[in-house]
Structure 1
Amino acid sequence: MTAILHPSTNLGPVSLRISNLAQSVRFYTEVVGLKMLRQHGRVAELTADGKQPLLIVEEVQDLVRPQTRTAGLYHFAILVPDRESLGLALANLIAHNIPVGQGDHLVSEALYINDPDGNGIEIYADRPQDTWKRDAKGEYVMTTDPVDVEGLLALSKDKEWYGLPEGTVIGHVHFHVSRLQDARAFYCDVLGFEVTAHYGDAALFISAGGYHHHIGLNVWAGRGIPNTPRSAAGIEDYSIVLPSHEELEAVTGRIREAGLQLEQRDGVWAVQDPSDIWIRLVVA
């Protein structure tokens, strides 16, 4: 089955399972810089623009910590509009004494943190797309070099932190998977993402419309590992935003043709990937 997603496809909100709603809301507002949009019961919707949810956190009682590494969330990635916004985010993380990992990936500059339940978060800014380079195979050249931390902090010097700015979106999601070939078959052959880069035989980056990656897939946690149980912290679902109902019909048609189960979740079609992560198929 060969298919290519519409180039206007992008990602929507991410939903996480967490252990303590008040603790997570405080972290995601004060440390990450999102704003409360609404709360209902044990669920909070957080936003950057004050209009649309970017992150949904749901408190699940008695979460367990798996005794082995599992397939599931590596990190979800919050894309800010520019380097100044990234510098302000970094300064705020430092002010809160948050341990920060970092990587200059050539196509982007990224900061890495964990939330109180260990869910991985990347906050990043893209470099201009006309500076992204491809190798002889046509794949994007990406690496992990040190970030120019001093340069980022210089951009934020003497500026006020008001949280993540309007224009902040979910840029990509990155998963530990059990079998890379199964993940590729689902995401590329069925859904229609295109391969943009490999890291040897252990990681794969895929996207729609020529972006460096909307989804990262890796076996760095081990091959053949079990999926993260729903009784543990992690990602519950995320949205793929399609540009039209015609594109939705094409994608759902391929899913059915592959013999996979579609379900209605909150009024939209959803399917599980090989790691049991729900994907909501939303029309923009």
Structure 2
Amino acid sequence: MSVPPATAPIPAGTRIGHVHLKVSDLQRALDFYCGVLGFELQQMYGKQAAFVSAGGYHHHIGLNTWESAGGQPPPPGATGLYHVAILYPTRADLGNALKRLAANNVQLDGAADHGVSEALYLHDPDMNGVELYWDKPEAEWPRNADGSIAMTTQRLDLNGLVNTRHEMESA
């Protein structure tokens, strides 16, 4: 597969700022994103949409039922969003997220150490894929001989993740 050349690369500081998810039941989605994951409700937009965030930002996730109230998830084999990835600042924060998931009986679909990051994979109540992850320090990323990133998919030690302490990350 070849990649068409760009006239200029996208700026290095570019970030993906937020995602809007179609959900079938707004309250159920809020129970998951706020009650389980810990996002804060920033604003309701009528009875069909809500905006949630971490740390008071206007919104990281928009949840809406504009076209999906009472709807069903897409069938397997359909196109669409594979998952939304939520970046945690530290390994300990990701460990705390894992504790919250366990306390709320949320099943993981998978967990992996990718060399550059550690990730938990799950689905929200509407079967939207969710990745919770933290990035390892760039100096620790595995590299190929030519300097390119050598991502992997290895088993993630969930017990070690849960037992990570904050002070270890600031050392």
| Fold shared per TM-score above 0.5 | yes
Inter-partner Cα distance in structure 2 for 1:19 and 1:40: 16
Inter-partner Cα distance in structure 2 for 1:8 and 1:68: 35
1:1-284 aligned within 5 A: 1-41=6-46, 42-59=48-65, 60-100=68-108, 101-136=110-145, 138-155=147-164
More strand by share: 1
Inter-partner Cα distance in structure 2 for 1:2 and 1:38: 39
Q: Which moved more, 1:74-83 or 1:139-148?
A: 139-148
Inter-partner Cα distance in structure 1 for 2:79 and 2:88: 27
| Cα separation, partners in 2 of 1:52 and 1:155, compared to 1, 3 Å | same
Partners of 2:73 and 2:126 within 8 A in 1: no
Return structure 1 stretches of 4+ with deviation > 3 angstroms.
64-68, 136-139
Give the unaligned 5+ runs of structure 1: 158-284
State the TM-score, normalizing by the size of structure 1.
Answer: 0.52
Q: Which structure carries more relative contact order (alpha carbon 8 Å, separation 6+)?
A: 1
CA deviation profile, 1:234-266 (whole Å, cap 9, x unmatched)? xxxxxxxxxxxxxxxxxxxxxxxxxxxxxxxxx
Inter-partner Cα distance in structure 2 for 1:123 and 1:7: 23
Instruction: Look up the equivalent residue of 1:52 and give its one-letter code.
Output: H
Give the unaligned 5+ runs of structure 2: 1-5, 167-171
Inter-partner Cα distance in structure 1 for 2:130 and 2:106: 12
Inter-partner Cα distance in structure 2 for 1:68 and 1:24: 21
CA deviation profile, 1:133-167 (whole Å, cap 9, x unmatched)? 2224543111111112111111269xxxxxxxxxx
CA deviation profile, 1:202-231 (whole Å, cap 9, x unmatched)? xxxxxxxxxxxxxxxxxxxxxxxxxxxxxx
Inter-partner Cα distance in structure 1 for 2:146 and 2:91: 30
Partners of 1:88 and 1:156 within 8 A in 2: no
| Cα separation, partners in 2 of 1:19 and 1:156, compared to 1, 3 Å | farther
Inter-partner Cα distance in structure 2 for 1:139 and 1:113: 29
Deviation, 1:57, is 0.4
| Cα separation, partners in 2 of 1:99 and 1:25, compared to 1, 3 Å | same
CA deviation profile, 1:44-69 (whole Å, cap 9, x unmatched)? 00010123211000012242444451
Partners of 1:112 and 1:123 within 8 A in 2: yes
Aligned-residue Cα RMSD (Å) equals 1.8
State the TM-score, normalizing by the size of structure 2.
Answer: 0.85
SS at match of 2:31: helix
Q: How many residues align?
A: 157
Instruction: Look up the equivalent residue of 1:35 and give its one-letter code.
Output: E
Identity %: 39
